[in-house]
Structures are given as structure tokens and as C-alpha cells.
């Protein structure tokens, strides 16, 4: 993993920092695992804008990712590590013994020709998917299920990881990437290792145009609006805007939005740090 700082031969490149893509082994995706990806531009079926700041962007095709790792007790070989425009992490193309190919989220340290597998009685090595009940305590994990058979939903973005810290009955205690400590059913699956592309947080776009390539439209600062448009708008001259809050009045800093009566609150042992 590395990043590159470009020479400022144009104003847009002066501060730009790009990924070195050292881990990427090919730029050609597997055609059988591609699917069309339709853009909505933030509009609903009536053509009305229901989500602001979305639209445009480069055309993409979706890479079908195997989040369930349900082809168990069959080893697979890593054929390539690839870039995925739809997510921050890199993905790995794996081929099973019967010839089937699948994409999985690539863990840090996964390399070409490495043999990985999923299921019971699998060695807790990078890239292997196991039940939480079979993973040794203290292990760094990622791509975690919250319900058995649901598929990975937690710790999937670049550089993230969780840690298995305790086991009690049918639950295990996991420290999540946010710092939250919660209980998860031990029948759920997780993958060994941290997610690849940990340098993603160091990247700098360098210019506004790159946000447009990614499908992000410009955002107006709330303090520049009128009072009718935003709680932080209005005032004479350059007013500070008051307490930071969203367009519908919800405070932006320190205000807890999680419901106190949510059923899954009992699984959270310690809230994430403020």
C-alpha cells in the first residue's frame, strides 16, 4: 500500500494525492461477474429530487461480491486483486476447484495464488471465513455478519477491522471499528484480517471536478442560505450561523439519534466514543 503525490504541473494537481495501486494486479474485470448499475441522479419515479447533491459521475458497472461466503469446505485460489469503483476497498477474484469464479472483499495481505476457504474447521488465516465460535480470541476480523446467513454487513470499507475479545454462551463480544463493543451471535461468520487499501484515508481529490466524476454535486453552505431554507441561514453580514444542525433542525454534534427503545440496544455493551 502506498500513495503518490503528483507534481503540480496543473493547479488541480498541486495538492492531489492518489493511490499507488501497488496491490492491484489487473485492470480488466471478470465479465461474468459484472452487472449494470443504473443512476437515479437523486430523483424518484416522478422525476422529483428526493436526495440532494447527487447526479452525474462516470458510468460504472457493478461487481457482484460474494458477501455470504456460502461455498464452504471448498478451497479457492486468488487469481487477481482488482480496483472496484463502487467501494473503497479492493476486491479479489477467486476461482474454486470446480471452475466457479467469485469476487470477495480483499483483506490486507491477500496475494495472488493464495489458497483460501470458508466453513467449519478452517484455519484462522487471512482471507478465510469462519464462524465466530471458531475464531481465536483477540483475532482481527472483518466482513462480519449480524444474522446467520445474512452475509457480511459490518467492517467492509477500506482499512477497517474489528476485534474478537470475548466469548460467552451463544454470543461473542466484538469491538467494532467505531469503538462500540457489542454482542453478536457466535453462529455468524466473519473473515480473518483487516480490509485492504488502508491508505484510502490519505487521498486528496485536489479539485472540485473530481467530486463530479464521483457523482457528487455541489453543496451549498448552510450559513450562506436564507432563514427559510435552513436553521443556520440568515443574519446580517457574515453571521456565524448558530449551533450546527441539519436542515430539519437535528443538532449535528453530540446529539444522540438512536432510539432508546430499539430492540437491539441490549446487545450493545458499550457505546462508541464521542
Model confidence pLDDT, tens digit, residues 52-106: 999 999 999 999 999 999 999 899 999 999 999 999 999 999 999 999 999 999 9
Q: Where are the beta strands (DSSP E) in 37-124?
A: 61-63, 76-82, 91-96, 101-105, 115-116
Nearest of 271, 120, 260, 142 to residue 194 by alpha carbon: 142
| Contact predicate 155/144, CB 8 Å | yes
Gap between the Cα atoms of 211 and 55, Å rounded: 11
**138-195 pLDDT, tens digit each:** 999 999 999 999 999 999 999 999 999 999 999 999 999 999 999 999 999 999 999 9
Whether 196 and 230 share a structural domain: no
Place 273 in a pLDDT band, splitting at 50, 70 and 90.
Answer: confident
Element (H, E) at 96: strand 91-96
Nearest of 116, 96, 33, 103 to residue 66 by alpha carbon: 103
Quote the cell numbers at residue 133: 465460535
Whether 116 and 157 share a structural domain: yes
Quote the DSSP letter at residue 257: -
Enclosing domain of residue 49: 3-200
pLDDT at 123 exceeding the cut of 70: yes
Q: Domain for residue 164, yes or no? A: yes
Gap between the Cα atoms of 24 and 257, Å rounded: 39
Question: Cα dihedral sign for 124, 128, 133, 135?
Answer: positive
Whether 230 and 182 share a structural domain: no
Q: Domain for residue 206, yes or no? A: no
Amino acid at each position: 500500500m502506498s500513495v503518490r503525490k503528483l507534481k503540480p504541473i496543473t493547479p488541480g494537481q498541486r495538492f492531489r494525492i492518489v493511490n499507488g495501486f501497488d496491490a492491484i494486479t489487473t485492470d480488466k474485470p471478470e465479465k461474468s461477474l459484472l452487472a449494470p448499475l443504473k443512476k437515479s441522479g437523486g430523483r424518484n419515479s416522478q422525476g422529483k429530487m428526493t436526495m440532494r447533491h447527487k447526479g452525474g459521475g462516470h458510468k460504472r458497472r457493478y461487481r457482484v461480491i460474494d458477501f455470504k461466503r456460502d461455498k464452504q469446505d471448498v478451497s479457492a485460489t486468488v487469481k487477481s486483486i482488482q480496483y472496484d469503483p463502487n467501494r473503497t476497498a479492493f476486491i479479489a477474484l477467486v476461482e474454486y476447484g470446480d471452475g466457479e469464479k467469485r469476487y470477495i472483499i480483499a483483506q490486507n495481505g491477500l496475494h495472488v495464488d493464495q489458497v483460501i476457504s470458508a466453513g467449519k474447521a478452517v484455519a484462522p488465516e487471512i482471507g478465510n471465513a469462519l464462524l465466530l465460535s471458531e475464531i481465536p480470541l483477540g483475532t482481527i476480523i472483518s466482513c462480519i455478519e449480524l444474522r446467520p446467513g445474512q452475509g457480511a454487513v459490518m467492517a467492509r470499507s477500506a482499512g477497517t477491522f474489528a476485534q474478537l475479545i470475548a466469548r460467552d454462551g451463544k454470543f461473542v463480544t466484538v469491538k467494532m471499528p467505531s469503538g462500540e463493543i457489542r454482542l453478536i451471535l457466535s453462529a455468524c461468520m466473519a473473515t480473518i484480517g483487516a480490509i485492504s487499501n488502508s491508505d484510502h484515508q490519505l487521498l486528496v481529490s485536489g479539485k472540485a471536478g473530481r467530486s463530479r466524476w464521483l457523482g457528487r454535486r455541489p453543496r451549498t453552505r448552510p450559513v450562506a442560505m436564507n432563514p427559510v431554507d435552513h436553521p443556520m441561514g440568515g443574519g446580517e453580514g457574515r453571521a456565524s450561523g448558530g449551533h450546527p444542525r441539519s436542515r430539519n433542525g437535528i443538532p449535528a454534534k453530540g446529539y444522540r439519534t438512536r432510539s432508546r427503545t430499539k430492540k437491539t440496544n441490549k446487545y450493545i455493551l458499550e457505546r462508541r466514543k464521542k
